[in-house]
Amino acid sequence: MSDLTMQAKPMRGLDIIKDHLQRLPAKPGVYRMYAEDGEILYVGKAKNLKNRVANYTKLGGHTQRIALMISLTAQMEFVITETETEALLLEANLIKRLKPRFNILLRDDKSFPYLLIKRTHIAPQILKYRGTKKDKGDYFGPFANAYAVTSTLDTLQKAFLLRTCEDSVYEARSRPCMLYQIKRCAAPCVGLIETDEYQALADQARDFLKGKGNDLQDQLAAEMETASGDMDFEKAARLRDRIRALATVRAKQDINPAHLPEADIFAIAKQAGQSCVQVFFIRAGQNWGARAYYPRHERDAQEADIMAAFLVQFYDTRPPPRLILTDHLPDQASLISEALRLRVDHKVEIKTAKRGASKELLKQARHNAEEALGSKLADTASQKRLFAELTKQIDLPAPPKRIEIYDNSHIQGSHMVGGMVVAGEEGFIKNQYRKFNIKDESLSPGDDYGMMREVMRRRFSRLKSEAEKEEKSICDMPSYPDLVLIDGGPGQLSAVIDALKDIGLTTDDLRLVAIAKGPDRNAGRETFYQPGKAPFQMPKQSPVLYYLQRLRDEAHRWAIGAHRQKRSNAIKKNPLDDIEGIGPARKKALLHRFGSARAVSRAKMTDIARVDGINQALAERIHGYFHNN
C-alpha cells in the first residue's frame, strides 16, 4: 500500500535528458531546456536531434556553463523540422523571443530606419520610415541610426526638392510653405512645378540612392552649362545648388566602399569576457552608417560562435544583402547562407577578406569594435562605482539593477501624458520606455498629482496582474524596479504612495525617491524626498547628483516628446476628415474657400453649398456636423 501511494521523485538533470533521448528521432529539429520553475535555459538546433541530445549525456568534456545548464534542466521540448535550415531559422526566432539564459543573445534589436520615396500620391513624398514595407514606393536602407537617415534626408531635400509633408497637409495648402522659401521643396502642392517635372525629380532621387550619383551629377552639370549659355542664370544657380548638395552626400562617406555596391560588414572584438560586434552598412556603393552591438554570452564563448549566433538573430526580421563580410567566419557559414537565402529572392554569400579594399574595411570595422568595447568596459567600471555610491547615498539594500523614472507633461491641462524611462548599470534601456495617455476624465486640467496617481496605478496594477498569471510575487518579476525616481516634490511622492496603497503595495515593497528642482529651478540645488526620512540635498559636485539629474532630464525629455507627439497628432487631424462624403478634393475646395475648418464651422449653409463639388445635401451634413444637428 505504501509503495502505491509514495510520490515518485521528479527527474531532473541528466536523468530527464536520458529519458527524452529514448523517444527522440534521428531527424532535424529544435530543442528547448527548462528549469524547474519554468525558466527557459537554452534553445538549440540539430541536424540529428538524437545525436545532438545524446552529447549532453556523456560524462565529462562539458564546460562549466554546460554542466550547470544540464544540472538545472527539469523539462525538455522538441520541434521536428524538415531540414536543418528550417531548424536554424526556428532556433533564431525562439532565441530572440524567449531570451534563454544560456544562449548568446543579440540584446539591442531596435528596427533600422529606411528612406522611403512614397508613391501613393501624384506628388511623391520622401520621408524617414520604420516598420513593415506596406506603402507603395521605393525603400532605401537600412541606415545605421536615425541621425544617418535624417542627415541624408536633409541633404536630399536640397538636391531634389521633394516634399516631406503629409498628404492631409499637402491637400490643405493654398500657398507655399517655408520649405519652398528656403529651397528645400518644389511646392507641387500649389502648382509651382509641373507634375511631370516633379515626378522626374523623384526618379532622379531614386536613381541617386541606387548608386547612379556620378551619372546624375554629370547630367545636372550639362543642364547647368546649357542654362548658363541661354542666359537663364536663375535656373543655372538652382542646378548649381543641387549639384553641391549631391556632392555633400557623397563627401560625407567616412570610408570608401565604392567597390562594394551592397554589403554588410561585421567585425568582432572580445575582451574581459565581453564582446562588441561592429556593423557597417554599404548600399549603392555608399556607407549608410555604422552601429555597435554588445551580445550577451558566457565568458568562454569563441568569436566564431558569437558571430554565428549574432548573424542568424540579426537577420531574423531584416532582409540580408547579397554579401556579408566578417572578420571571423562563423561556424556553419554555408548553412546560414542557405537559411538567409530562403528569406530573400537572391543568393547570400558570407565570407571574409584576405586582401584589398575589403580587408581594409574589415580592419577599420574591427578597430571601431575595439574602441567601442574599450569605452564600454571603462564606462561599466565607472558605473559600478557610481552605483555603489548611489546605494550608500539613498540607503538601498543593494545596488539597483533596474531604475524607473517618471514624469508628466501637459500644456495648461491639455494633451496630458505620463512618461516612464528605465535605466540600469549599462545605461538607459530604451526598449523598456513607456508612455501613458492620461484617461481619467474626472481629473482637473493640469492635476499633476492625479496624473501621477493614474500612471503609477496603471503601471503596477498591470505588473501585479502579470505576476498573478505566472503565480509569482510581484517583487520576483524581472521588470520590478529596485528604485523608483519621481520628478517632483513631497506632493508627487504622496500621490505615488497613495496609488501604491490602492493596489496593495507599501514603501517597504518599493524604494521611492522624489527629486524636486531647487530655487529658480537651478540644477545642483535639488532636494530629495524619501518616505519616512527628512529631506536632504547632495553636494553640488557629487557624481551621484549628476547621475540622478541625467535620469530626471531623460524622463522629462521622454514625457515632453510624448506630449508633443500627441499634440501634433491632434493638430494634424482636421475635423473635415470625420465628415462622411468629404474626400481630399472636397476638403481642399472647402479650405481654399474658407481658409480653415474653424471658418467652415462658422459658415452659413448657403455659403457652403456654393463651393465646387458640394451639393445641398452634403452642405446640410457639414453644417449639421458642426452644430450637433
CA neighbours closer than 13 Å in the CB half-sphere of residue 325 = 25
Q: What is the pLDDT of residue 422?
A: 93
Kindly list the structural domains of the chain, giving each domain's residue range(s) and its CATH number in brackets, ordered by start.
2-98 (3.40.1440.10), 114-251 (no CATH), 262-375 (3.30.420.10), 403-555 (3.30.420.340), 575-626 (1.10.150.20)
pLDDT per residue over 488-533, tens digit each?
889 999 999 999 888 888 888 889 999 988 665 556 678 999 998 8
Q: What is the pLDDT of residue 49?
A: 92
pLDDT per residue over 299-328, tens digit each?
888 899 999 999 988 888 788 888 999 999
Residue 11 DSSP symbol: P
Q: What is the pLDDT of residue 403?
A: 93
Q: What is the pLDDT of residue 247?
A: 66
Residue pair 525/518 in contact (Cβ under 8 Å)? The answer is yes
498 burial level (CB within 10 Å; 0-12, 13-18, 19+): middle
Per residue, the 3-state secondary structure of 579-600, as one string, reads CCCCCHHHHHHHHHHHCCHHHH
Low-confidence ranges of the chain (pLDDT < 70): 1-10, 108-110, 212-215, 217, 245-259, 411-414, 518-524, 568-573, 628-629
What sections of 99-189 are H helices per DSSP? 146-160, 167-172, 178-181
Closest Cα to residue 372, out of 263, 252, 267? Answer: 267
Q: What is the pLDDT of residue 1?
A: 33
Q: What is the pLDDT of residue 259?
A: 65
Q: What is the pLDDT of residue 3?
A: 38
Q: What is the pLDDT of residue 108?
A: 64
Q: What CA–CA distance (Å, rounded) separates 544 from 548?
A: 6
Taking the CB of residue 400, how many other CB atoms lie within 10 A of it? 21
Q: What CA–CA distance (Å, rounded) separates 576 from 31?
A: 56
Kindly state the cell numbers that stand for 223: 543642364
Taking the CB of residue 37, how many other CB atoms lie within 10 A of it? 11
Q: What is the pLDDT of residue 514?
A: 92
